[in-house]
Amino acid sequence: MSRIRRVEDSQEFERVIDDYITQGYKVESRGEHSAKLKEKNYGSAVAHILIFIVFGWWTLGVANLLYLGYKYISGEEVMVKMDE
C-alpha cells in the first residue's frame, strides 16, 4: 500500500519525515523535494508465537521466516512531496 503526503515548505517537509521516522518508518530514498519512507513491520510477537506453535514443529521455523518476510514486504509506503 502506498500513499502520498504533500507539504508546503522545507520545514514542514523535515518535520513530517521526522514524525514518520519516530513512528517506525525508514527512509528508502530522499531527494531535494521528495522522500520515500517504508514502514518497518516484522509482524506481532503473538502472531509469531502462534505460527510457531501451529507450524513450527514440522517447518523448523521456516513458517515464521516466511511470515516475517511477508509482513516486511507488505509494509506501508509513504511518499512525502513538497509542493512548489
Cell numbers at residue 34, please? 521528495
Alpha helices for the chain (secondary structure H): 10-22, 45-51, 57-59, 62-73
pLDDT for 43 equals 83
* Amino acid, single-letter form, for residue 2: S
pLDDT for 27 equals 93
Q: Which residues contact 53 (CB under 8 A, 6 or more apart)?
A: none
Residues of the chain with pLDDT under 50: none
pLDDT for 81 equals 94
Predicted model pTM: 0.72
